[in-house]
């Protein structure tokens, strides 16, 4: 394996809390001696429009769209940057990612923290690469996996943080030997990535790379097979990947040896999506199986090496997951089904139990894409659902598990990303 190289409207007129420490991207000197400046803000949402090439920035404090940014193409996906300041608008078919500064951020000035709220703006900087697809946001750094394009354009990945984006760059990059639909999970100073053999149709193994500056160098390919490898999540020193026969738990530096290691954990049906939260030591594996096709859920305990089926009250055969996500504290796991019911599962010492189901969270659930999106507010006890059919933004209070409000919009909202200062 070769070493890899870098791959390369309404606007707010008021800027809050910029005095005293200089403001702007640099925010002033770390020698400033001022008290902590805290802005009480719920943050903003980046919202994509069904089949539209406009990115909207919705201010949750004023309950209004404060910026409309034209994009080169309709976004295929929308994500928040690692620090929650920037929105990344993926345009997979066109090989590019455009970036918007949502205008809410926090800086560490050495002796204090300083919050800022300013008008959103689009960055000139873009991240380009062949079919940007899989996005992983872990512990202050994120990666974009570019699938490449068969037969000869190979897959690649870039890794970055918010400071990199603000400076118009990525932090590190890597190129692979084959085109493939895969992932590249940041795990500390390591990268856990998919491997596709030259004669295979998809990824079936994992590889570990180590970062040196702007590049990654190959460490080891793990022997354990992971057929139909898809979906991943990293927490602590462990990256979990979905397989047709379970999950693969990977440690770039295994306890006791310091060398990469992997463990296979079997599940009754395949896993193609893996979810996790920083406040919870286990993982949730998801995948569709059976006739009729039904989404199955598993509580993955990598420390014990076990996978336990999660039972959701009212989840009958034929129910399919349309959206999912945690609240900001990781106490609740929300799943929206294909009938428009939002299921709230509560975390306990022995696993997940059904706490409440909100029938009609999406009153007229769509039978085809675009489906609703779900995202958590990291500063308030709320999660949000987009409802493209009703042209609404639905807010769920995660303390009461009730619909808090439905906000009418003049467009069909699809993908969501929360942007702001996590509390």
Mean pLDDT per 10-residue segment, the chain (423 residues): 36 37 41 69 98 98 98 98 98 98 94 94 98 96 98 97 98 98 97 97 97 96 97 96 98 88 98 97 97 98 97 98 98 98 95 97 97 98 98 98 98 98 96
Task: Name residue 47's beta-bridge partners.
Answer: 56, 416
Per-residue confidence (pLDDT) for residue 23, from 0 to 100: 44
How far separated are the first and last CA of the chain, in Å rounded? 42
Q: Which two tokens stand for residue 196?
A: 């596709």
Per DSSP, the three-state class of 166 is helix
Per-residue confidence (pLDDT) for residue 35, from 0 to 100: 64
* Distance (Å, whole) CA 26 – CA 164: 13
- Give yes or no for a contact between 244 and 279, defined as CB atoms under 8 angstroms apart: no
Pairing, β 54-59 against β 44-49: antiparallel
DSSP letters, 344-360, are EEEEETTEEEEEEEETT
Alpha helices in 159-246 (DSSP H): 162-166
* Distance (Å, whole) CA 297 – CA 321: 10
* Distance (Å, whole) CA 252 – CA 263: 12
Per-residue confidence (pLDDT) for residue 3, from 0 to 100: 40
Residue ranges of domains in the chain: 130-275
DSSP letters, 144-210, are EEE--BTTTB--EEEEE-HHHHHTTS-SEEEE-SS--S--EEEETTEEEEEE--TT-SS--EEEEEE
Q: Which two tokens stand for residue 203?
A: 């990824």
Per-residue confidence (pLDDT) for residue 27, from 0 to 100: 37
Q: State pTM to two decimals.
A: 0.92
Q: Which two tokens stand for residue 292?
A: 């009729």
In 3D, which of 314, 308, 309, 307 has the Cα closest to residue 336? 314
Degrees to nearest 5, angle at CA 185 with 183 and 187: 165
Count of CB atoms situated within 10 Å of the CB of 314: 12
Per-residue confidence (pLDDT) for residue 111, from 0 to 100: 82
Q: Which two tokens stand for residue 318?
A: 């034929």
- DSSP-derived secondary structure letter, 4: B
Whose structure tokens read 């990291």?
A: 378
* Distance (Å, whole) CA 417 – CA 414: 10
Per-residue confidence (pLDDT) for residue 350, from 0 to 100: 87
Q: How many CA atoms lie within 13 A of 240 on its CB side?
A: 29
* Distance (Å, whole) CA 171 – CA 191: 13
In 3D, which of 232, 118, 139, 220 has the Cα closest to residue 184? 232
The separation between CA 217 and the C-alpha centre of its own chain, rounded to angstroms, equals: 25
Give the helix/strand (H/E) hosting 45: strand 44-49
Q: Which two tokens stand for residue 393?
A: 């933004």
- Give yes or no for a contact between 397 and 404, defined as CB atoms under 8 angstroms apart: yes
- DSSP-derived secondary structure letter, 15: -
- Asked if residue 292 has a cis previous peptide bond (ω within 30° of 0), the answer is yes
In 3D, which of 361, 368, 319, 315 has the Cα closest to residue 340? 361
* Distance (Å, whole) CA 110 – CA 36: 10
- Give yes or no for a contact between 389 and 366, defined as CB atoms under 8 angstroms apart: yes
By the 10 Å C-beta count (0-12 exposed, 13-18 middle, 19+ buried), 15 is classed as middle
């Amino acid at each position: 394996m070769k070493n890899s190289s870098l791959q390369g409207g309404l606007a707010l007129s008021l800027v809050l809390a910029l005095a005293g420490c200089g403001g702007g991207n640099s925010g002033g000197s770390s020698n400033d001696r001022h008290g902590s400046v805290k802005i009480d803000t719920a943050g903003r949402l980046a919202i994509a429009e069904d089949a539209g090439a406009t990115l909207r920035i919705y201010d949750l404090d004023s309950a209004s769209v404060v910026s409309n940014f034209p994009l080169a193409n309709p976004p295929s996906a929308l994500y928040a940057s690692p620090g929650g300041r920037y929105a990344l608008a993926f345009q997979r078919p066109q090989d590019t990612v455009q970036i918007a500064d949502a205008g809410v951020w926090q800086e560490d000035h050495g002796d204090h923290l300083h919050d800022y709220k300013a008008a959103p703006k689009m960055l000139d900087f873009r991240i380009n690469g062949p079919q940007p697809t899989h996005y992983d946001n872990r512990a202050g750094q994120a990666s974009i996996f570019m699938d490449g394009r068969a037969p000869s354009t190979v897959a690649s990945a870039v890794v970055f943080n918010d400071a990199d984006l603000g400076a118009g760059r990525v932090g590190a990059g890597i190129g692979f030997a084959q085109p493939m639909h895969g992932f590249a999970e940041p795990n500390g100073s390591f990268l856990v990535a998919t491997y596709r053999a030259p004669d295979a149709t998809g990824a079936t193994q994992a590889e570990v790379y180590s970062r040196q500056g702007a590049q990654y160098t190959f460490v080891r390919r793990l022997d354990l097979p992971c057929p139909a490898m898809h979906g991943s999540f990293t927490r602590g020193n462990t990256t979990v990947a979905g397989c047709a026969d379970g999950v693969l738990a990977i440690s770039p530096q295994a306890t006791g040896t310091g060398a990469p290691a992997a463990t296979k954990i079997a599940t009754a049906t395949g896993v193609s999506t893996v979810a996790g939260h920083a406040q919870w030591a286990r993982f949730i594996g998801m995948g569709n199986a059976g006739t009729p096709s039904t989404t199955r859920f598993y509580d993955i305990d990598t420390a014990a090496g076990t996978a336990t089926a999660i039972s959701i009250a009212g989840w009958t055969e034929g129910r399919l997951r349309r959206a999912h996500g945690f609240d900001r504290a990781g106490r609740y796991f929300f799943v929206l089904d294909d009938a428009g019911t939002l299921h709230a599962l509560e975390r306990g010492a022995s696993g997940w139990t059904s706490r409440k189901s909100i029938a009609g969270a999406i009153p007229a659930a769509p039978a085809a894409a675009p489906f609703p999106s779900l995202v958590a507010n990291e500063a308030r006890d709320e999660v949000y659902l987009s409802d493209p059919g009703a042209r609404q933004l639905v807010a769920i209070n995660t303390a009461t598990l009730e619909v808090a409000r439905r906000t009418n919009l003049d467009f069909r909202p699809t993908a969501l990303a929360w942007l702001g200062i996590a509390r």
